[in-house]
Amino acid sequence: MRQAINLTAWALLLASGTVVAAVSQEEADRLGTELTPMGANPAGNADGTIPKWTGEILGAPKWVDYKGTGTHYPNPYPDEKPLFTITAKNYKQYAKNLTDGQMAMFEKYPDTFVMPVYPSKRDVRYSDRVHQNTKLNALNTRLNADGNGTSDVYFGVPFPIPKTPAEVLWNHMASPMFGASEGILDAAAVYANGEINMRQSLEQRHVQYYSSNITREEFNNSNIAAMAMVQILTPPREKGMIVLVHEYKDVGDTSRDAWVYLPGTRRVRRSPSIAFDFPDSAGGLRTVDDVMLFNGANSRYTWKLEGERELFIPYNNYDVDSPEVSYEELLTKSHLNPKYMRYELHRCRVILAELREGRRHIYAKRRLYTEEDTWAAVLADNYDGHGNLWRTNLRTMVNQYDLPGMGARMEVYHDLQKGAYLANYLVNEQKGPPRFVADPWPDSYFTPTSVRQLGK
């Protein structure tokens, strides 16, 4: 099933097993004092190119005209200009702040790929509920010995004071997101010859981990982590397909169940296990565990922290979502139109994954870059079995005013060998990004019975 399901990150929560202890009260009390409420360094850098964290913006700033959930997020910095632009001619002088993938993009597309760098911002905060639960998680959440599950966790990052690479990885997969959302999203596979293959879907998601309708106790006593219903609207040959996904908290290598309705047969069938390097999306330009840059079980790799780097990352990328920018303008050959991109300098944790002996995956090595204020992975580099960089991927970040807080918007996957890329979660020609659903659907909606009814 080579179709973008865009699975959520909750496949592994609360798996059973021996656990690693949480932090002490003394350590947890550093949150909101020596550290930000999310566990980041509140200070700027020595050069003054990364500012201190203020957290003074919660939701939509008073100076933007935001129409509400389900509508486009206005750019709060519309008049800012780039401080400088990195090009194929000068990128080597910025190498300490670039990833392997970014430098490869300059080498691969020297005439078109550029990175406009803007002033860095650290003014956005999350809700009190996220901050309070993040501190509760610091005190109570424990990581299983195999790193593939956690206990006593809810509504915030699990490990704001991480000690291991697995904890940083979990923070990425549990970075703040909507508890329930609904919207029409577009995806585009852009091939080396400039051909564009578009897909459109109606996506409904209920992520219980961040659901305001569930208590911490209820979440930890349940086995369902998240549910998604995806209805394909275009292209015509796929119209009418419906995919239902259940993500579970107690898992092994199989972390989810999926059901597919195909209009040609008018039947609902259970899909085989969808995980790891199962191909996903048009053109096979990403794997299932490429979703969110990494999502799912970490058991096929050994992981280590490579430290912290100051990197130019996609941040405050409102223009790539703008309704004033058509897909024709945005989806240029080889990569998104750089005119609409924005990069800022931020501190990132770097995690290296190397394939375990005797395990199989199309990526022999992966490197993730997680931004300190959100814990979300914003850049990823994936290498083939010969050690060559194969795919370099990114997520754009914006202040999601209705979340509220910084969150990932688009996902872009560059295949350097094919010279193609996939742009996912496009909303420029829609009414806006998915809307927040305050009163989520009942669990009975996310069932094969509902899929049959929707398929009629």
Q: How far apart are CA 206 and CA 179, in angstroms?
A: 6
pLDDT of residue 384: 96
Q: What is the pTM assigned to this prediction?
A: 0.93
- Does residue 213 or residue 327 have the better pLDDT? 327
- Does residue 291 or residue 93 have the better pLDDT? 93
Coil, strand or helix at 106: helix
Q: How far apart are CA 375 and CA 105, in angstroms?
A: 25
Beta bridge partners of 368: 351, 380
Q: How far apart are CA 204 and CA 212, in angstroms?
A: 16
Q: Which amino acid is at 216?
A: R
pLDDT of 275 above 80: no
% the chain with pLDDT above 70 = 93
User: By the 8 A CB rule, do 377 and 294 touch?
Assistant: yes
**Domains in the chain with CATH codes:** 10-455 (2.50.20.10)
DSSP 315: -
5 band by pLDDT with thresholds 50, 70 and 90: very low
Residue in the structure block whose two tokens are 């080498």: 107
Q: What is the mean pLDDT of residues 131-141?
A: 97
pLDDT of 380 above 90: yes
254 band by pLDDT with thresholds 50, 70 and 90: low
299 band by pLDDT with thresholds 50, 70 and 90: confident
pLDDT of residue 273: 64
Q: What is the mean pLDDT of the chain?
A: 92
pLDDT of residue 418: 96
User: By the 8 A CB rule, do 419 and 85 touch?
Assistant: no
Coil, strand or helix at 330: helix
DSSP 418: T
Q: What is the mean pLDDT of residues 71-93?
A: 98
Residue in the structure block whose two tokens are 């010969």: 386
pLDDT of 249 above 60: yes
pLDDT of 361 above 50: yes
Q: How far apart are CA 321 and CA 397, in angstroms?
A: 11
User: By the 8 A CB rule, do 53 and 36 touch?
Assistant: yes
pLDDT of 370 above 90: yes
16 band by pLDDT with thresholds 50, 70 and 90: very low
* Number of continuous H segments (helices) and E segments (strands) in the chain: 7, 21
Q: Which amino acid is at 245?
A: V
255 band by pLDDT with thresholds 50, 70 and 90: low
